[in-house]
Structure 1
Amino acid sequence: MSAVPVPDDQPMLLREDRNGVTTLTLNRPAQFNSLSFAMLETLIAAVDEIARDESVRVVVLAGEGKAFCAGHDLKEMRANHALEFQQRLFRLCGKFMMKLTEMPQPVIARVHGIATAAGCQLVSMCDLAVAADVARFAVSGINVGLFCATPGVGLSRNMGRKEAFEMLVTGDFIDAREAQRRGLVNRVVPIEQLDDEIAALAASIVAKSPVAIRMGKQLFYKQLEMGIDAAYQVAAETMACNAMCEDAAEGIDAFIAKRKPAFKGR
């Protein structure tokens, strides 16, 4: 893994590239990978770079140490107790979360430990999530007098509103199986199988047409915010444009000829 440069020259974020899959690992284990201002800036720079790199087909977001991510850095928040700083911090966090949705590559959360508050938000904003059976999830800001308003945006778009609101007002943890039942994660496996499960999921995506994945991800999030009629219109246009791509012609020809397609990303 290579360290991504940050203002204080510490390896706050690690990057590993292998077979079209880039793994970004939050590397503040002593702080449970909390999302400090510098960490958020570093993450934004990293995903912006990856979004422009067509050789990267899938992104895996992981955490070093015991936790996946424990949310915002509360010590930093208390040390900068001014409205202007709090506004900048939460806007920056929202900007990063939207980057995950806007980047062309699918993003998989690798959740091996606790994901709390903005860490739970991070899981909710990844396109996919695979969790170890020992992982736990909470939006626990309410326990320190802070309603997890921004995590609630992603949470309420992953699960039923009553289930999301209960988590927000109680701060209670749910386990990985319950998180899967509620739609927060896709798969739950024993922790010793976590990397193999993610590798298999990533490989399945890498094997598909890059242009279809890019177009499909963009359309998926766009239509979610629309009424059903408008959603069908934009989806129909996307499918028509996708059908004109070289990869679609190759894929259909390969299917008819009963051979494996050779996608080129066009």
Structure 2
Amino acid sequence: MSAAVRIERKDAVMTLVIDRESRRNALNADVAAGICAGLDAAEADRAVRAVVLTGAGDKAFCAGGDLQPNAQGTPFTIDAADPRHYVAGLIRRMDACRLPLVARVNGHALAGGFGLVSCCDLVVAREDARLGVTEVRVGLFPMMILPPLLRTVPARVLMEMCLTGEPITAKEALADRIVNYAVPADALDAKTDWLVSRIVDKSPTGIRLGKQALAKVRDMSADSALEYAQFMLANMARTKDAREGFAAFAEKRAPQWTAE
């Protein structure tokens, strides 16, 4: 595990903490490797039902790529001959995560940090946290994170963010459903715990297969998506979790999920 990302475990929830508070939890190769390794560890543990991604301290979730002159592993040093950029690999890994991924936005999430937020399934944020893409201020554009941004930010809002470089608060972002919840700082942990508690008691198999289906259907035509959905539904109905869910419903009891 990378020293830049700390793992915390509580019951069925694994929390990945970007641990570079002195650098405002800036994104670099070590952070990307640490998040990927954390997701691997979470998926390898059958008892883990959800992953929370957050930053150390209370100033920044992730301030984006490290712009300091002595930065290590900055995202902006790209070998044009090598297409395997670590940011692209991180986005692919987060997209492929089979567990629910919740962003606990403890502070500002800018540029690549906002990209990480956009890669998560659900978002609970401090209402005063600033979200945005500031790359145009330094002569860049948020190239690497455009795919997740396009999925989560309304087109006109995203265009204004990209062209002006001006962030918005999480409270403002709530109106466009860019975040699920925006709460005062002292309510962040309670709201995150509340949201995660509504996930971890549901069928892990249903969630895992459902996330896979959502990712595939998103890129399909309507006809192909309907054909794929029939196949997935028939296969999901054969799982042990589905059979247990039906039985528990008929017997009016809480289901006992096996993740199978």
Q: What is the TM-score normalised by the length of structure 1? A: 0.90
More helix by share: 1
1:32-181 to 2 correspondence within 5 Å? 32-65=24-57, 66-75=59-68, 76=71, 83-84=78-79, 91-181=85-175
How much does 1:186 deviate? 0.9
8 A contact 1:101–1:127 mirrored in 2: no
SS at match of 2:61: coil
Q: Distance in 2 between matches of 1:119 and 1:200?
A: 24
Q: Distance in 2 between matches of 1:83 and 1:214?
A: 34
Question: Any unmatched runs of 5+ in structure 2?
Answer: none
Q: Which runs of 4+ in 1 moved over 4 A?
A: 77-83, 86-90
8 A contact 2:133–2:165 mirrored in 1: yes
1:218-229 to 2 correspondence within 5 Å? 218-229=212-223
Give the partner amino acid of 1:136. R
How much does 1:79 deviate? 8.3
SS at match of 2:125: strand
Q: Distance in 1 between matches of 2:49 and 2:10?
A: 10
Q: Distance in 2 between matches of 1:71 and 1:168?
A: 14
Which segment is superposed worse, 50-59 or 87-96?
Answer: 87-96
Give the partner amino acid of 2:66. D
What are the superposed Cα offsets for residues 192-226 of structure 1, whole Å, 9 maximum, x if unpaired?
Answer: 11111111111111101111111011111110111
What are the superposed Cα offsets for residues 38-76 of structure 1, whole Å, 9 maximum, x if unpaired?
Answer: 222222222222222222110000101210000111233
Q: Distance in 1 between matches of 2:123 and 2:76?
A: 34
Q: Distance in 1 between matches of 2:76 and 2:167?
A: 28
Report whether the alignment pairs 1:261 with 2:224: no
8 A contact 1:121–1:155 mirrored in 2: yes
Change (3 A) 1:46 1:130: same
Give the partner amino acid of 2:52. V
8 A contact 2:13–2:51 mirrored in 1: yes
How much does 1:94 deviate? 1.3
Which segment is superposed worse, 241-250 or 19-28?
Answer: 241-250
Q: Distance in 2 between matches of 1:20 and 1:43?
A: 18
Q: Distance in 1 between matches of 2:143 and 2:255?
A: 45
Q: Distance in 1 between matches of 2:164 and 2:155?
A: 14
Change (3 A) 1:170 1:115: same
What are the superposed Cα offsets for residues 68-88 of structure 1, whole Å, 9 maximum, x if unpaired?
Answer: 00011123389898651x776
Partner residue of 1:192?
186
8 A contact 2:28–2:73 mirrored in 1: no
8 A contact 2:29–2:74 mirrored in 1: no
SS at match of 1:244: coil
Aligned residues: 257
8 A contact 1:152–1:168 mirrored in 2: no
Q: What is the TM-score normalised by the length of structure 2? A: 0.92
Q: Distance in 1 between matches of 2:165 and 2:209?
A: 37
SS at match of 1:157: helix
8 A contact 2:53–2:101 mirrored in 1: yes
Partner residue of 2:246?
252
Q: Distance in 2 between matches of 1:14 and 1:36?
A: 15
